[in-house]
Amino acid sequence: MSEFFTVQTPKDAHRLFSEHFHPRVRTERIPTADALDRILAEALTSPQDLPEFARSTVDGYAVNAVDTYGASGGLPAFLTVIGEVPMGATSSLELGSGEAVLIHTGGALPAGATAVVMVEETQRIDDAAIEVLKPVAEGENVIQIGEDIRRGDLLMTAGRPLRPQDIGGLLALGITEVSVAQPPRVAVVSSGDEVVPPDQPTTPGQIRDINSYSLAALIRRAGGEPILYGIVPDRREALLAAMQKAHHEADIVVLSAGSSVSYRDLSVDIIEELGAPGVLVHGLSVKPGKPTILAVCDGVPVFGLPGNPVSAMVIFDLVVTPAIRACLGASAPAHTRIQARLARNVASATGREDYVQVRIEARDGESWAVPVFGKSNLIYTLVNADGVIQIPLDSGGIREGAWVTVTLH
Amino acid sequence: MSEFFTVQTPKDAHRLFSEHFHPRVRTERIPTADALDRILAEALTSPQDLPEFARSTVDGYAVNAVDTYGASGGLPAFLTVIGEVPMGATSSLELGSGEAVLIHTGGALPAGATAVVMVEETQRIDDAAIEVLKPVAEGENVIQIGEDIRRGDLLMTAGRPLRPQDIGGLLALGITEVSVAQPPRVAVVSSGDEVVPPDQPTTPGQIRDINSYSLAALIRRAGGEPILYGIVPDRREALLAAMQKAHHEADIVVLSAGSSVSYRDLSVDIIEELGAPGVLVHGLSVKPGKPTILAVCDGVPVFGLPGNPVSAMVIFDLVVTPAIRACLGASAPAHTRIQARLARNVASATGREDYVQVRIEARDGESWAVPVFGKSNLIYTLVNADGVIQIPLDSGGIREGAWVTVTLH
């Protein structure tokens, strides 16, 4: 199948890739307290009501609401205080008519009480009596049993990224362990005779390897575990050996080779050897990033990214990030998307999807997306951008002032 | 100073707190490749031009542009190919008039060349000659020396959170180590006789400790390092001892005590003992979260959060997150903010700032913020929300359809 280069639209490429990529989510059980930003791998239902007992939301007196009806400052309701609710336990007290019990915020409502009067709306007469200055309705200042969550309620579905409040919500129910997706291992193989490690001095003609590290960071951001294979010499045997090792050890393989035609041909050739069906797409109708390779080899997705770092990062988010999210079973994208208005006309060529870097500026409470100029293969174009917008295929461009979706970096 | 409870506006409270809190950013030098999401603690300028040599952006032939002027399919320019540029090195070749050199994407432009003709726009005659079918301008298909970044250019300022492309941009220049802010240590002390660890069964009247863990997760999100001090019994001596230890060991102390008046008084009392000036604010005009304590004790910020978990989390983001970001010297807030339209009228009481949980829904390409109903002390209100909006003090509320800023969770 090698040596062809039929440019495909991202949509067609995605469809073809999806037909051959069948991600399996690997799971592990971990303490809920350690599960921040992990992807939940199971649907969870509540084992109990929350709260399990009716609780006061204020400091005051637990009462039978009917005893306060008609009460006012001029004509207060007079109630006998028969005790106090201890924190962390239930009271053995049971309210009779005309009786009240001192209760604190979070305290369990005693038997016979139907509401709580705030302490500010009472007046203490003596140790055993209060005046209530305002009526309360039944249930006022009380959280009822199961008002937060009922036993059996669906709490969260699989695929959810866990946030601080989600961890709190699970621990509140005693769910101290959860099944989450294991981060897929993503191999990064760099190649190119002009590429040297970043800690080495360069001689004219050489550039530093930035793709290994910026791609590793993108892999972490997406929820994967990067494995770097270093810079492999641009010879068939060396590159094939490195790619076979990566294909054997990782769940996803990313090859960042040189950008020239000969490198691309070599990449296609080597990927074909890793397994069937092999290369599915060679060439995407996007800018930047046309020389992209999508492959599935014996069930493992293999991506050949363009060599220039800006194209590599744009294409990574377009094709590799979704594959990582699929391995995690994640229901939400890895990046936040916001709406903004485009700050100037952006033209686009026919037959191509354009990805334009933008800076976000606030103007009169509205967010504006300001295109960041500079050739697309300059890394500082990306450094100076807050996000990226997509100019759809065959749209001809987008007009100034139009609302666009910005995927934040 | 204890026992007072003068509710202040968040603005006044912030001003008072800022007068007494003078954060010092502690820094450490780490490998740039490990600095994802860390906060840069130094301004960086470029030690070199990037690129350091003029590079080709395409596969083709390096030429002197004037030799191609007027070229067309019908009347091509005839050039002699005198050799090939090796990758990763410079060529010793020097172009004379009417000469061309084979060059690959990323290759260094040889002496005498001013542009590159794409291979698609040439025709090979024999091993030593090509026809150029289209003219190129000077500099076409070339990245000039310093076109990405010039030596001495300001790259990034202190306070920037480092993203994948920032790591790439630094490594491209050989900046393999950076000075970043050390995460401030943030102590979490929980208290309350009704609170039990989440892995223990509850008896009626008891609730599980969720604040320690949801606050720890929020601390991590903000860039701090949480230190949990467990659940401390609600007695003066035990709580004072735990708070003194926390105050000694941490950069910021967070106390999550019970919500009742007696706990608040005890909290104020104990915080006062930790150092001068002590409690600055006791009571914020916000909902939820009125019973909030802001203090600075011997230079260490100490926060008393409301006991109920929803209020605790809302107030944490309002007061503790900014303190953590200040200790990091971070120039950007910890949370992403987006614009959305409010999906229904939200009323608000005078003299109070309201924080309303919302779910984000996309409707016709616009984001809408849909308020999540449920009492504000129910944790699943937060679990079911995507973010929070602020109803400003004395605004009376916000009308359906108005644009609001949503701080995403």
Q: Judge: domain B33-49+149-181, CATH 3.40.30.10.
A: no
- List the one residue out of A130, A159, A137, A1 whose CA is nearest residue A61: A130
- Residue A311 contacts B, CB cutoff 8 Å: no
Other Cβ atoms less than 10 A from the Cβ of A128: the count is 12
| A206:B89 CB<8 A | yes
**What confidence tens digit (pLDDT) does each residue in A280-327 have?**
999 999 999 888 999 999 999 999 999 888 899 999 999 999 999 999
Strands A185-191 and A225-232: parallel
CATH of A27-50+147-181, one of 3.30.43.10, 1.10.3720.10, 3.90.105.10, 3.90.380.10: 3.90.105.10
Name which of B114-118, B154-158, B332-336 the model is least confident about. B332-336
- Residue B287 contacts A, CB cutoff 8 Å: no
pLDDT of residue A97: 96
Q: Please indicate, yes or no, whether the overall pTM of this predicted structure exceeds 0.90.
A: yes
Cβ under 8 Å to A: B residues 376-395: 377-380, 382-383, 385
- Residue B174 contacts A, CB cutoff 8 Å: yes
Q: Nearest CA of chain B to the CA of A375: how many Å?
A: 9
Q: Nearest CA of chain A to the CA of B226: how many Å?
A: 12
Fold adopted by B10-26+182-328: Molybdenum Cofactor Biosythetic Enzyme; Chain A (3.40.980)
| B214:A164 CB<8 A | yes
- Residue A95 contacts B, CB cutoff 8 Å: no
Closest residue in chain A to residue B338, using alpha carbons only: A338
Global ipTM: 0.93
pLDDT of residue A22: 97
Q: Nearest CA of chain B to the CA of A325: how many Å?
A: 18
| B379:A148 CB<8 A | yes
Query: Does the pLDDT value for residue B277 go beyond 60?
Result: yes
- According to DSSP, the residues that pair with A50 across neighbouring strands are A149
Strands A286-287 and A353-363: parallel
- Residue A59 contacts B, CB cutoff 8 Å: yes
Please say whether the beta carbons of B325 and B318 come within 8 A: no
Mean pLDDT confidence for B307-316? 91
Q: Say if residue A261 is exposed, middle or buried (CB neighbours under 10 Å; 0-12, 13-18, 19+).
A: middle
Q: Nearest CA of chain A to the CA of B208: how many Å?
A: 5
Higher-pLDDT residue of A100 and B258 is: A100
Q: Outline where B120-252 has alpha helix (H).
A: 164-172, 211-222, 236-249
pLDDT band at residue B258 using 50, 70 and 90 as cut-offs:
confident
Fold adopted by A337-408: Beta-clip (2.40.340)
- Would A27-50+147-181 and A55-143 be classified into the same CATH topology? no
| B105:A258 CB<8 A | yes
| Chain B partners within 8 Å of A201 (Cβ) | 174
CA distances from A110 to A120, A151, B14, B290 (A): 20, 22, 40, 27
Cβ under 8 Å to B: A residues 116-155: 119, 143, 147-149, 155
Q: Outline where B187-234 has alpha helix (H).
A: 211-222
Domain boundaries defined on chain B: 10-26+182-328, 33-49+149-181, 55-143, 337-408
**Which residue has tokens 């971070």?**
B330
Cα B116 from chain centroid?
Answer: 41
B55-143 architecture in CATH? Beta Complex (2.170)
Cβ under 8 Å to A: B residues 323-352: 336, 338-340
Task: Please name the member of B208, B258, B378 whose beta carbon is closest to the beta carbon of A174.
Answer: B208
pLDDT band at residue B308 using 50, 70 and 90 as cut-offs:
confident
CA distances from B138 to A212, B75, B112 (A): 33, 20, 12
- Residue A157 contacts B, CB cutoff 8 Å: no
pLDDT of residue B250: 98
Residue B28 is which amino acid? E
